[in-house]
Structures are given as structure tokens and as C-alpha cells.
Amino acid sequence: MNIKFKRLNKTIVKCKKCPRLTNFIKKVSTEKRKQNLNEEYWGKPVTGFGDRKAKLMIIGLAPAAHGGTRTGRAFTGDKSGDFLFKSLHSVKISNQNFSNNINDGLRLKSTYITNILKCVPPGDKPMNNELSSCSDYFVKELDYLKDLKVIVALGKVAFDNCLKIYKKKFIINKKIIFKHNKNYLLPDGKTLIACYHPSPRNVNTGRINEKKMTSLFRKVLKLI
């Protein structure tokens, strides 16, 4: 299984299937953000990471411009990641409450974190053809994680696109809509759970807070 993942990640990192996104990554990584001007940006697509025997998968939409695209790891080096890892550490899914860089010692317990789209899109708005081109990689991640039981989708766009990918393979007749903390049983036996994205906007408006997020992950721990 590790060899399969190694091959997959090697392919993802070199992928240039979406010229608009490849150019945007180049722009972001060259221009940089003021506080990171002296850093070398990862500047490539960002793979998933975590436990290859994971029972839980956490998905976002795409790496952040100055988070994952800078550090090379999803939800690493940005405010959404700061919030997420505080919550994951509270429920002992991660060994530490921060995720700053790929050498920070972070370990996940039975959990794998990835994004539906492996490259940051301008304005966080991907095009349908980009989502479609990248979906093969997500399908492979699902396939390689043989012990997977639960998928937590952070945000409506990640949730909807995960569902869209499932609908290509399965007929799903029941109505499945994004509702925070709601579980849906998928045709392959996995459970899909909707969770508000821990973005600064959602945190600042109180849509999501640490109590809500840790309570959702406590529920998840009972399912895996």
C-alpha cells in the first residue's frame, strides 16, 4: 500500500493537468506574502498525508495559497489549520495542537487529511474541469485507504464535490445536503459527515467554534 501511495504522490506533485492552477501556484510562490518573503514556497500540488491505515479521512477543498502551497502539507501554516489542529489535539486525533511545517513532528492517529483539489485555485474558486481532472487522485486515495469508515468534509464545496465523485460510481437516490454535524451513510458503507470549514471567517462569525468542532470529532471517534 505504501508503494501505491508513493507512486500516487509522486504523480500528483508533478501534475500539470490544469494550466490555470499551475500558473497560479507559480505566481503565488514567486510573489509570496509579506511575512513569508524570505521563505522558499513549496510551489507544487499538495498531496494528502497521515495514517495509511486511517479509519477517518478529513477533506478540505484545496490547499491555501500561503498555507499548504507554501509549506507543502495540507492545513499547515494557515489559520484554518491552527484551528483544526487545536480541535484534533483536544480529542487526541493528533499528537500536537499545531501544524506549522512538514518537519514539526505532527502525527495523526488513524486519520488521513487531504483536499479534493490538490492545487490552490485563484480566489478559492475552482472550475468544473479542474475538479473533474483532479478527482482521479481523490478516488485513488479512497481506494488505497482500505480501513476507511468515516469522511468528514470541511465546508460545503468539499462536501458537494465528494458527493459528486461518489455519484459517478454509485446511484444515490436519497437527498444529501450539507448540514453541519449531519451523518450520511454512503453506498460503500462509509459515513460522510458535514462540518463547517474552520476558516477565519467561520470562526470569527461564530459559525464554528472549538466546542462544536471537538464535539463533532468526539462523535466521529465513536464511529471508527
Which residues form the interface with ligand SF4 (CB under 6 A)? 12, 15-18, 21-22, 45, 117-119, 130, 133-134
Least distance in Å: CB of 190 to ligand SF4? 22
| Distance between start and end Cα atoms, the chain | 20
Nearer to ligand SF4, 87 or 133 (CB): 133
How many secondary structure helices (H) and strands (E) does the chain include? 8, 6
Nearer to ligand SF4, 129 or 204 (CB): 129
Does residue 142 contact residue 192 with C-beta atoms inside 8 Å?
Answer: no
191-195, strands of its sheet edge to edge:
49-50, 111-115, 56-60, 150-154, 191-195, 183-185
Query: What are the C-alpha distances in Å from 74 to residues 77, 115, 118, 181, 193?
Result: 9, 7, 9, 22, 19
Nearer to ligand SF4, 22 or 96 (CB): 22
Nearer to ligand SF4, 157 or 208 (CB): 157
Least distance in Å: CB of 25 to ligand SF4? 8
Least distance in Å: CB of 198 to ligand SF4? 22
Distance, CA of 165 to CA of 139 (rounded, Å): 8
Nearer to ligand SF4, 142 or 203 (CB): 142
CA torsion 87-90-92-98 (nearest 10°) is 60
